[in-house]
Amino acid sequence: MATGESRTVLEAALENGIDIPHLCWHPALEPYGACRVCLVEVERNGRKRLVTSCTYPLREGLIVHTDTARVKEARKFSLSLLLMLAPDAGKIRELAEKYDVSPPPSDLPHEPTNCIRCGLCVRVCRELIGAEAIGFVNRGIDRIPETPFSEDNPVCLSCGACAYLCPTGKIKVIDRNYREIEIWHKEGELAVCPECGKRFAPLKQLEEAKKKIENKELREIFDLCPDCRKKKIAEKKLWNKAITSAGK
């Protein structure tokens, strides 16, 4: 197996078509190792141990076992805990069935929250969006992602990146005349396309994106909805082509 300073066992496995289940890992984010379903057994210098493949770096001479009885049992245990947190989540149920994990008992001491504490929502908001609108509160089984003081955080852009990455569907985005993300106590205004009048994207997110664009013409195109934007770009290309042809 090839090695590299910044590559992990999970990345190398996925690149080579080797199936290792994972729920809290995303290629655009720093590895976290929270869900524990990506556990593998590594062997080096005669010593074997279980590690999270999403955080374990590749090393020379490393032997990785992805499907041993010990690995399966460890994944099964992790999935049994996740299933108690999110018994209705499709991805969790699919993996639980694959590893023959029994459904959780009906008399659980804690009510299922459909959140597995994977941290994807917190991390994407911090690492990619740069907003840090949410974070973890409480400890142990009560630890959950939340906004400060469980109120609308004004730094939230209503972008929905958290919902896009959520593996259980706990975070839901509803677009009406505004964008609602109930879990974050958020109602964000949607921008109106000046061409067709359609509401199409969170206004705050659009304004933040436009700050990074120096070209005035590009900023104006950004104000348009995706459909009108495509038309405008196509018209622009045709216009430029006509000017070029006339000048010959």
Question: Residue 97 is encoded by which pair of tokens?
Answer: 């069935």
Q: Is residue 204 part of a domain?
A: yes
CA 130, 134, 137: angle at the middle one, nearest 5? 140
| One domain for residues 144 and 85 | no
Domain of 22 in residue numbering reads as 9-98
pTM of the model: 0.87
For a pLDDT cut of 90, what percent of the chain falls above it?
A: 75
pLDDT at 4: 46
Residue 34: Cβ within 10 Å count? 18
pLDDT at 241: 54
Distance (Å, rounded) from C-alpha 164 to C-alpha 172?
9
CB 155 within 8 A of CB 131: yes
| One domain for residues 94 and 126 | no
Q: Is residue 244 part of a domain?
A: no
| One domain for residues 167 and 198 | yes
pLDDT at 3: 42
- Among 98, 132, 158, the domain-final residue is 98
| One domain for residues 215 and 132 | yes
Q: Is residue 185 part of a domain?
A: yes
| One domain for residues 124 and 225 | yes
CB 54 within 8 A of CB 31: yes
| One domain for residues 132 and 198 | yes
| One domain for residues 127 and 162 | yes
Question: What single-letter DSSP state applies at residue 129?
Answer: I
Distance (Å, rounded) from C-alpha 191 to C-alpha 196?
12
Q: Is residue 208 part of a domain?
A: yes
Burial of 152 (0-12, 13-18, 19+ CB in 10 A): middle
Q: Provide the domain count of the chain.
A: 2
Residue 72: Cβ within 10 Å count? 15
pLDDT at 173 over 80: yes
